[in-house]
């Protein structure tokens, strides 16, 4: 990324067809463009800066080269950012991003006076799947779960890989009970999903889910996540493949195929 930025902000060499004003414009663009957040923003900056300016062929070429170098730098920066915040196996946001996003969303929900649900999902008996079929098959199951989460998310939901076989779904503006009802079809789909590895079907893998709510179950991201974790372990102890909310009296979902009915 540093090398790319050096190409953008380095000195502009004088050339035929470029006036002093043209060189000054190129220098200003070279300074501003690396700070753009996207290629579209970079192009808008160029359009604004060059409005009403009579451009010679040499000037147009110099601007195009400056913009191309800037866009390369932006893309390099975005790739590095993706590497820093995304899980390489599943493509979901990683734990580091999740923790930062929890804090951001709590600030936003506090400002708006809205709740936020946090769901912690854990694949049941995942270790036995790895032992029976190998880690490559286990990786395939994890990626399949990530695909389900990506397809399930709505609006501003943020799906993340927490670590190992655990996933987190941040659901702004949702209550814990509403989140649990929304999550049950996902749990059912996970139980019914047929994953094949090297032409052979893998044993079914189910998911246990714990759900907590800000601010009801905690005033911070750490507290809400801990409450969801406690609910998750309660779901495990109750037999797995079910959803539990942080408050034991609130809600519990039990595997009841094919209807997947809710039970108190």
pLDDT by residue, tens only, the chain of 264 residues:
444 444 444 444 445 456 777 788 888 888 888 788 777 788 888 888 888 777 778 877 887 887 787 777 777 676 666 667 899 999 999 999 999 999 999 999 999 999 999 999 999 988 888 877 788 988 999 999 999 999 998 999 999 999 999 999 999 999 999 999 999 999 999 888 878 777 787 888 899 999 999 999 999 999 999 999 999 999 999 999 999 999 754 444 444 433 232 222
Query: Do 206 and 106 sit in the same domain of this protein?
Result: yes
Co-location of 216 and 193 in the same domain = yes
Q: Show the CA angle centred on residue 77, arms to residues 9 and 85, nearest 5°.
A: 155
Q: How many domains does the chain have?
A: 2
**At a CB cut-off of 8 Å and minimum separation 6, what does 264 contact?**
251, 252
Q: Is the pTM of this model over 0.85?
A: no
Which range marks the domain in which residue 206 is found?
95-263
Q: How far apart are CA 90 and CA 140, in angstroms?
A: 9
Indicate if 244 and 132 belong to the same structural domain.
Answer: yes
Assigned domain for 103 exists: yes
Pick the catalytic residue: 6, 165, 166, 213? 165
Q: Quick one: 148 and 247 in the same domain?
A: yes
Asked if residue 163 and residue 245 are part of one domain, the reply reads yes
User: Any catalytic annotation for residue 43?
Assistant: no
DSSP-derived secondary structure for 181-227:
HHHHHHHHHHHH---EETTEEPPP--EEEEEEEETTT-SSHHHHHHH
Give the residue from 25, 51, 85 where a domain finishes: 85
Query: Could you tell me if 233 and 179 lie in one domain?
Result: yes
Give, for 159, the enclosing helix (H) or strand (E): strand 158-163
Query: Is 27 a member of any domain?
Result: yes
Whether residues 48 and 107 fall in one domain: no
**Distance between CA 80 and CA 89 in Å, rounded?**
16
Burial profile 177-187: b = 16 or more Cβ within 10 angstroms, e = fewer: bbbbbbbbebb
Is 21 a domain residue?
yes
Tokens of 244: 């539990």
């Amino acid at each position: 990324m540093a090398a790319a930025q050096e190409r953008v902000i380095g000195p502009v060499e004088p050339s035929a067809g470029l006036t002093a004003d043209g060189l000054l414009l190129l220098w200003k663009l070279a300074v501003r463009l690396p700070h753009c957040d996207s290629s579209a923003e970079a192009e808008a900056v160029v359009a604004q800066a060059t409005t009403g300016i009579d451009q010679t062929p040499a000037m147009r070429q110099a601007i195009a080269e400056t913009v191309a170098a800037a866009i390369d730098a932006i893309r390099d920066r975005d790739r590095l950012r993706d590497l820093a915040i995304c899980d390489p196996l599943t493509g979901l946001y990683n734990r580091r991003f999740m923790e930062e996003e929890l804090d951001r969303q709590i600030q936003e929900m506090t400002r708006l006076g809205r709740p936020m649900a946090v769901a912690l999902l854990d694949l049941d008996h995942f270790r036995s799947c790895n032992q029976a079929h190998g880690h490559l098959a286990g990786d395939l199951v994890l990626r399949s779960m990530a695909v389900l989460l990506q397809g399930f998310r709505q609006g501003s939901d943020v799906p993340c890989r927490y670590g190992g076989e655990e996933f987190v779904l941040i659901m702004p503006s949702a209550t814990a009970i509403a989140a649990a009802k929304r999550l049950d079809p996902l749990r059912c789909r996970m139980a019914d999903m047929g994953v094949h590895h090297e032409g052979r079907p893998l044993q079914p893998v189910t998911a246990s889910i714990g759900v907590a709510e800000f601010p009801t179950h905690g005033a911070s991201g750490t507290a809400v996540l801990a409450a969801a974790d406690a609910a998750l372990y309660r779901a495990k102890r109750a037999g797995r493949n079910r959803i539990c909310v942080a408050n034991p009296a609130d809600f519990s979902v039990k595997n009841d195929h094919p209807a997947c009915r809710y039970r108190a």
